[in-house]
Chains A and B, each alone.
Chain A
Amino acid sequence: MSTAVSAAAPAVAQAQPRYAGILAGAWRRFRRNKLALFGLGYVVFISFVAVAAPYLTPYTYDKINPSIALQGPSWSHPMGTDILGRDMLTRIMYAARPMLIVGFATQLAGLAIGTTLGVLGGYLGGAVDWAVSRLVELFSALPWYLIVLYMVMVLSPSLKNLILALTITSWVNSCRVVRGLSFSIRKLDYVEAARALGIPGWRIVIYHVLPQAIPLLLWTFASGIPTAVFAEAGLSFLGMGVRPPQPSWGQMLADAGNYWMYWPHMFVFPSAMITLSVLAFQGLADGLREAMDVNVNI
């Protein structure tokens, strides 16, 4: 199978623009993984729900109505109502927002910091590399749940501070990847040739080193999201995330606190959403790894 693909590739590459063949091959490999397809579908769906939430529901997430509190699922409230009589489905839909924001924002920030530090360390080497390596070592051997939790607490719990605190740890993986890669690339002949031509270091990094890192970085980005989703749910569960009345799945789970034994709908739906989201993003990351043929050994 794989030999057939690589044999066909040069012919395609000649006929079409260079990237078309690569992307088609990647898509074919991605499609083979059912979980990855589900992940892609889910992410598109949940993003749509998060953006269009106000148009999809007749209720608001913060309207209190004690007369209908703690109702089980029904036609007018498919996921029931919570202790304050708020529609659970509406809150579930709005809660997709913090999940997506935290997932993408922390990974984007981590990617930016990690890539910068990684390139500096791996390409420059020497004392800079020593400092970057120590920093990575420092951050990978920390009880980081505690530090993130404490940081959010001290800065006062909010979505912004949660993202800030999670960013502190989210750069480590991409930094490690980029450092390793630029370390090995800078010894290759074409980089040597570029340097001999007198091309400045920053140009070599941007045009010759970083493009090589794109598949790996895309994968680190994707595989970091489930961790961030998990962390957002966990910290909101402990009351360290989004402030009420803004809903978050972890916080809804915590709200289920004393009622879950008698009104299981209060924990079933948030639980299902957290698990589904982690699974979907995980599947998407796995699919991307296979599609781009990334060799992961971190």
Chain B
Amino acid sequence: MLAYILRRFLGIALTLLLLSIFTFVLSRTVPGGPWLQGVEIPQSPQQVAAFKAKYGLDKPLWQQYLVWLRNALTLDLGVPFSMPEITVSRLIGRLLPYSALVGGLAATLAIALGVALGIASAARANTWLDNVITLYAVFIGTIPSFVMGFVLAYFLAAKLGWFPTGGWGGPRHLVLPVIAYGLPVSGGVARWTRQCMLEAMGSDYVRTAYAKGVRELGVMTRHVLRNALIPMITNFLPLFPGMMTGSIFIESVFGLPGLGKYFVMSSTNRDYPMVLGITMFWALLIACTYLVTDILYGIIDPRVRIAEKAA
């Protein structure tokens, strides 16, 4: 197990290394640069040279990269061009709570609602309830979060005035973004849950349990759900980092000051350190979540552990 985790860590390090090289080269090889952004008057060559010298952009590409890499290993991701008074790491730390809150709550909503609906439709498979839930899952799953955001904002905020239409100012500002972002995902969660449950329900041990006279509730919770949980967890856990990074759209609909909004801003402004920093941060988070998921997989499914011991 330890060897496995170590190997995975090496894999993550390699992934991050490749990604950083790709992003780094992509940003530096294309004409134009941060010194051209937001400047009305054409800058003199001396000014551009001074800017380049200040941030080390005049050195060869590989040297720039190695400097960045050395600093990044000590969690020093540099200083954003657009905000020289703060470091990238600190700015990410300051913006992360917004994205984490919206994405995390939305993922929680999607999973809670989706799993409940999925279990209900599997338990009553091929009845009207199953049909209604499946219909809901298919339809809701096709609505992009930003479309959902507009619709909710129009009816619940602009027309009825129950919630603010955007901005940040407390829990009430979170309600609409979280619903708009979480609801569409709940459709996919429900479909997957239903499929996992049905697969488990078709197995021999479930028939045995029924034959022994176990009541439906007992079979469902102790035999079906416990087995269906395994493919469910491996699929739903990555939703958390995935939805945190995907909150770009919902953040721009509701004007939330999260990482996604800053990422769009930074890429428009060619703010290299910021873009690279945010990309690497999310990639690390996603990779770690996959690792945790795979380790959890071994913990909750005894069969995986036994197979490993036998090997």
Let me know if A253 and B146 touch, CB within 8 A.
yes
Task: Give the distance in Å from the alpha carbon of A137 to the alpha carbon of B290 in the complex.
Answer: 11
Q: Pick out which of these stretches binds chain B: A48-56, A190-198, A233-241.
A: A233-241
Let me know if A267 and B142 touch, CB within 8 A.
no
Q: Does A188 contact B (CB under 8 A)?
A: no
Q: Which of A138, A147, A234 contacts B15 (CB 8 A)?
A: A138
The minimal Cβ–Cβ distance linking B263 to chain A, given in whole angstroms, is: 6
Q: Does A260 contact B (CB under 8 A)?
A: yes
Task: Give the distance in Å from the alpha carbon of A123 to the alpha carbon of B151 in the complex.
Answer: 49
Task: Give the distance in Å from the alpha carbon of A146 to the alpha carbon of B249 in the complex.
Answer: 11
Let me know if B30 and A141 touch, CB within 8 A.
no
Grouping DSSP codes into helix (H, G, I), strand (E, B) and loop, the A interface class, with mixed when no group exceeds half, is: helix
Task: Give the distance in Å from the alpha carbon of A261 to the alpha carbon of B11 in the complex.
Answer: 49
The minimal Cβ–Cβ distance linking B300 to chain A, given in whole angstroms, is: 20
Let me know if A261 and B154 touch, CB within 8 A.
yes
Q: Does A118 contact B (CB under 8 A)?
A: no
Name the A residues within 8 Å of B153 (CB-CB).
260
CB-CB nearest in chain B for A147: B279
Let me know if B279 and A143 touch, CB within 8 A.
yes
A interface bracket (residues with beta carbon within 8 Å of B): 35 or more
Q: Which of B26, B150, B165 contacts A150 (CB 8 A)?
A: B26
Let me know if B142 and A260 touch, CB within 8 A.
no
A250-298 contacts to B (CB < 8 Å) = 253, 256, 260-261, 264, 267, 271, 274-275, 278-279, 282-283
Let me know if A137 and B11 touch, CB within 8 A.
yes
Using A150-B23, A153-B268, A238-B252 as known contacts, say yes or no to A143 and B283 having CB atoms under 8 A apart.
yes
Q: Does B257 contact A (CB under 8 A)?
A: no
Task: Give the distance in Å from the alpha carbon of A137 to the alpha carbon of B26 in the complex.
Answer: 21
The minimal Cβ–Cβ distance linking B288 to chain A, given in whole angstroms, is: 10
Grouping DSSP codes into helix (H, G, I), strand (E, B) and loop, the B interface class, with mixed when no group exceeds half, is: helix
Provide the A125-168 mask, 1 if CB < 8 A to any CB of B, else 0: 00000000010011001110111011101110000000000000
Using A137-B15, A145-B245 as known contacts, say yes or no to A234 and B279 having CB atoms under 8 A apart.
no
Using A143-B245, A145-B246, A261-B158 as known contacts, say yes or no to A234 and B287 having CB atoms under 8 A apart.
no
- Give the number of residue pairs across the A-B interface with Cβ within 8 Å: 101
Using A35-B138, A138-B15 as known contacts, say yes or no to A143 and B275 having CB atoms under 8 A apart.
no
Q: Does B144 contact A (CB under 8 A)?
A: yes
Name the A residues within 8 Å of B246 (CB-CB).
145
Q: Does A224 contact B (CB under 8 A)?
A: no
Using A149-B264, A150-B23 as known contacts, say yes or no to A237 and B249 having CB atoms under 8 A apart.
yes
Let me know if A260 and B154 touch, CB within 8 A.
yes
Q: Does A226 contact B (CB under 8 A)?
A: yes
Q: Does A104 contact B (CB under 8 A)?
A: no
Name the B residues within 8 Å of A137 (CB-CB).
11, 15
The minimal Cβ–Cβ distance linking A114 to chain B, given in whole angstroms, is: 19
24 A–B contacts from the bound complex (CB under 8 Å): A35-B138, A137-B15, A141-B286, A141-B290, A142-B286, A143-B245, A143-B286, A145-B245, A146-B248, A147-B279, A150-B263, A154-B270, A155-B30, A233-B144, A233-B146, A238-B264, A261-B154, A267-B154, A274-B147, A275-B142, A278-B143, A278-B144, A282-B138, A282-B142
Contacts A146-B279, A237-B249 given; 12 further ones with Cβ under 8 A? A134-B11, A141-B283, A142-B283, A146-B263, A147-B23, A150-B26, A154-B26, A253-B147, A261-B154, A271-B147, A275-B147, A278-B144
